Amino acid sequence: MLRTANRSVRQKLFLVVLATTFAALVVTGIAMAIYEVRTYQQSWSNDLMTQAEILGRASAPALTFDDPESATQYLSLLRARPTISAAAIYNARGKLFAKYVHSDAASSIFPALPELDGTHIEGNELVVFKRLVENNEILGTVYLRADYELWQRLLDYLGILGAVMALSLLAALLMSIWLQRAITRPILMVADVARNVMEKRDFSLRVTKTTEDEIGVLVDAFNAMLAEVGRRAEALESSNRQLEHEMAERRRTDDALRQLNVDLEQRVADRTEELGAANKELEGFSYSVSHDLRAPLRAVIGFSKMLLEDHGEQLDAEARRKVDVIKEDAEHMGRLIDDLLAFSRLGRKTIQLTEVNMTELAQSVYDNLSRQTPDQHAEFRLGKLPTASGDRALLGQVWTNLISNAMKFSSKRDGALIEVSAISNEQEYIYFVRDNGAGFDPRYQAKLFGVFQRLHDASEFPGTGVGLALIQRIVVRHRGRVWAEGKPGEGATFYFTLPREQNNGEL
């Protein structure tokens, strides 16, 4: 601190510029390095998954006709990619069907059994497992092992980053030298005049004003102070004139402030009106999108049905299947448009807070869903739920999405069970829906509540991927939280919270 305090203004300004530039470069460099690491890992994983998909598709006939030699020939094509050190194909029973080891790689030990689809890092290698599925039947699994040169790539990146930082600091140094001359020169002039005034007692000295910024204001104030000291003999008269001048300035300032307040109020009113018009325009756009997109979809669905009804006998089985695919995809797009519109409108919807009987609401939702999907049977256990303060319609949507998901993902399990209950603490109520269905991989838990994020194949469990995102937005607007727990094949539990106390009215 003492060393810094004894330095000149020019040196302090120089150190501040360099320190600020260096800190900004370090933070930027760290952020870019982290981004580079993540990008490299993601791109390499995607590349290997694509390669595994291509190998799987090419080896499908060999797996079907039990021809390991053909599969081995396909794997041998990987010699063109020396970074892939080993590869293998397993059949549907998990037995090693064909394998490949790069000539430059050491002998590889292949896993006894294939793992689930995905990638993971083992030492300096990236391992990929990709199942081959055709017509909902697993034909086999592709295994790839490739070099993972993250550290070498990171070292190269850090070398480039270091060179860039050195050049940036040099540029900052040159800029600092140029700037500090323009900034500190007027201050040094003030210091020289002040020193001469103290030594010579000559109050007629003045500092030449060279800028119109804050330093220029400082120069004006310093010169005014010297003039005031020089006019001591006329202190009373000068003080009166100065007081009158200050009063006039104060009146002008007050008038300016009043006018500024009037302008600000008018701006707020104008902006409020603009926001209202923008909201109406956005709502009109949503309705227009809904109408313009739904009309052609209805035409596609209607003509698909008419084609099947009027000309079904003239079409072969494959043609009828393709028409069914067109109709089902059009209906799926219609549901997707409805979900997206609901998701976008929720941000503008005013929440009306009332007392909601959560036990009655959850039971009513399950009863309605049971009538709509009689083929999905499950044992429903409903505990006593605490009454909450919230928007009944939106909370009903939360229960509908959670319970319908539990019914859907447990529908293929014998003895399906859905449990709805709650726990409480001093700050909030914690509600949950638990099922014993398909579950999910906890590694991908962060993706659950994103729009269009799905962890299961659409052909196995249909849906649009918007429901959980809608749940999260509703709960967050009620000042709550939402999360989930689960394991593959062992079911899942979805939680959401609501504050114990909320002011009735609007959110």
How do residues 146-166 score in pLDDT, each as one tens digit? 877 666 667 777 778 778 878
Which two tokens mark 460? 């196995």
Query: Quick one: what percent of the chain has pLDDT higher than 90?
Result: 5
Within 300-403, strands assigned E span: 352-356, 379-382, 388-390
CA distance 48 to 103: 19
Judged by average pLDDT, the poorest of 86-100, 184-198, 255-269, 451-465 is 451-465
The predicted pLDDT at position 431 comes to 94
Give the number of other Cβ atoms within 10 Å of residue 418's Cβ.
22
Q: Is the pLDDT of residue 3 over 60?
A: no
Which pLDDT score is estimated for 360? 93
Kindly calculate the radius of gyration of the chain based on its CA atoms and give it in whole angstroms: 36
pLDDT at 197: 72
Lowest-pLDDT choice from 31-45, 179-193, 328-342, 483-497: 328-342
Residue 459 binned pLDDT confidence (cut-offs 50, 70, 90): very low
Question: Is beta strand 417-424 parallel, antiparallel or unpaired with respect to 379-382?
Answer: parallel
Tokens of 461: 């469990």
* CATH superfamily membership of 9-148: PAS domain (3.30.450.20)
Q: Given the structure tokens 């590694």, which residue do they identify?
A: 443
What is the pLDDT averaged over residues 497-507?
70
Residue 170 or residue 434, greater confidence: 434
Task: Return the CATH number of the domain spanning residue range 351-506.
Answer: 3.30.565.10
pLDDT for 478 beyond 80: yes
Q: Phi-psi category of 18—alpha, beta or left, where left has phi over 0 and alpha has psi -120 to 50?
A: alpha
What is the dihedral angle through the alpha carbons of 303, 305, 309, 314, rounded to the nearest 10 degrees? 70
Q: Higher confidence at residue 56 or residue 445? A: 56
Q: Give mean pLDDT, residues 445-460.
A: 57
Quick one: pLDDT at residue 144?
Answer: 84
pLDDT, residue 2, reads 39
Domain ranges of the chain: 9-148, 253-348, 351-506
Whether 100 and 72 have beta carbons less than 8 Å apart is answered as yes
* pTM (two decimals): 0.39
- Dihedral in degrees, nearest 10, Cα atoms 189, 190, 195, 199: 100
Separation of alpha carbons 424 and 32, rounded Å: 43
Find the range with the poorest average confidence among 13-17, 352-356, 463-467.
463-467
* pLDDT of res. 458: 47
Torsion of CA 348, 349, 355, 360, to 10 degrees: -120
pLDDT one-digit tens code per residue, 287-301:
566 556 666 767 777
Q: What is the layout of strands, in order, in the sheet containing 118-122?
A: 96-101, 84-91, 137-147, 125-134, 118-122
**Residue 126 backbone zone (phi > 0: left; psi -120 to 50: alpha; other: beta):** beta
Average pLDDT for the chain:
76
Measure the CA angle with vertex 23, ends 22 and 28; round to 5°.
100
Stretch 478-507: mean pLDDT: 81
- How does residue 276 score in pLDDT terms, banded at 50, 70 and 90? low
Distance CA 15, CA 3 (A): 12
- Residue 391, pLDDT > 80, answer yes
Tell me the residue ranges of DSSP E strands in 245-387: 352-356, 379-382
Where is pLDDT greater, at 4 or 367?
A: 367
Instruction: Name the more confident of 381 and 204.
Output: 381
Nearest alpha carbon to residue 489 among 448, 440, 417: 440
Contacts of 100 (CB under 8 A, 6+ apart): 72, 75, 76, 78, 86, 87, 88
Residue 37 DSSP symbol: H
What confidence category does residue 457 fall into, taking pLDDT thresholds of 50, 70 and 90? very low
Residue 429 above 90 pLDDT? Answer: yes
Average pLDDT over residues 302-316: 77
Q: What's the pLDDT score for residue 331?
A: 65
What is d(CA 69, CA 421) in angstroms, rounded to the nearest whole number?
57
Q: What is the pLDDT of residues 336-356, one digit of tens each?
A: 566 556 555 555 566 778 899
pLDDT for residue 78: 80
